[in-house]
Structure 1
Amino acid sequence: MNTLRHHSALLAAAGTALVLSLTACQSDGDSKSASSQASAAASSATAKSPDAQGAGTSAPTGSTGSTGSADSANSAGSAGSKGSTGAGGSAGTAGSTGEQVTTSTPLCGARDVTVTAATQDGPPYTHIVLTAKNTSGHSCRLAGFPHVQFLESHKQDVPAVAKSKPATPVVLKAGAPAYALVKLSDGGVDEENEPVSAFSVTLEGDSTVIAVTAPGSEGIAVDPAKALTGYWTPELRGGADDF
């Protein structure tokens, strides 16, 4: 009986020792596992740090790229200097007939053109149209307006209408015409009109008198107080030439 109890006590002691041993092993294993995990984490962090450093060095490369784009923008801006093609505005020196005006383009003189007159519209014939045709065989510039004198008793030139002045010089090629509208009167029966069968015209820049025959078999009736003339233009224009 005592032997049995003693054997049981030994078994209990051995079991306790085995439990303690297993517990110690488990604790030691857990510690080693934790240590291994910490080491792995440290290794991972160490492995990642070069990547992080590489990412940091890529930033200057990116800024260089932005500098490059700035250079591109600058070069694009310099391309914008093509606006200097506005120098094509020199084409604005082209005459009304489309021909280029240069300092060598001479003024049209009396020897270069033939001036004729025709009535405009019907009775009471308040306006005539002067036509100056370039018969010189070369281009010339017709400046200003015709200086018209209808009567010997009125030596003043007929006043010009400013709104009829063209925006560009009138350059006549050989054989090309220009026109000027001239007002004779208001067409009233009570006006102090005088009959005119011929009158004189001079061109700007040339004092030579051009004798022009009045249109119609009976000539024209002119009221010196109402007479007006327009500027030379390549064609008559509604509005600017309505006076």
Structure 2
Amino acid sequence: MTRVNEFKQPIGEPVENWQGAQYPTKTMINGQYCRLEPISVAAHSQALFDALSQAEDDRDWTYLLSGPFGDLAEYQTYLARLETLNDPLHYAIIDLSTQQAVGSIALMRIDAQQGVIEIGGVTYSSQLKRTRLATEAISLLLQYTLGELGYRRVEWKCNAHNHPSRAAALRLGFTYEGLFRQAMVVRGHNRDTTWFSIIDSDFPALQKAYQQWLARDNFDQQGQQRQKLGELIENQRKALLIAE
């Protein structure tokens, strides 16, 4: 039944005792396979630059707002600016097996008062792509924002032509919300932006699916997954509906 106010106008569901979410802090976030550390020139620039430089070409930078970087000094200048920011709040992704930074990611467009935050700036090296660490890094930020800081909504946005990013959002259980036409001009080209989100009521099922997928026994001795994340998410969503 649609709720109405005293003027018989339809309104949304009440949000009782809402006082906003907490602002994320520059703290480490630990997982099974990776650790997220607030970005640091001193701690991360060399390893990140080396990891990102292993790419065969510059295609990974096409849809990002920064890069590519010609040398370490240029990259360090870029990271030095990021290190001072609280929004975006950038993290280095540390591979626990090597203790080396292999990529970076950010929380951004932070609106703690409304409980809305975005995961963006996803910069994965070839060592990180399509690994357990890549999925875990996102799941750690979702747990941190939705599970610990009290956010109601986490957004994922990308260039409409960035099909790998769009596929990643859907694989992780984000819901497609639409296309913002002519949202930006990037590198001299028009950018239409696709929007995705996960809201707090989505997260219990997703969190269980992430935990199941990341479990060590979900991978064989060659490191191949036994169950796909999408299948686990669908199963958890069905189980939640049955429980309701």
Which TM-score applies when normalising by structure 1? Answer: 0.21
Q: Which has the higher helix share?
A: 1
> Which of these two proteins has the greater Rg computed from alpha carbons?
1
Which TM-score applies when normalising by structure 2? Answer: 0.21
Q: Which has the higher strand share?
A: 2
Which structure carries more relative contact order (alpha carbon 8 Å, separation 6+)? 1
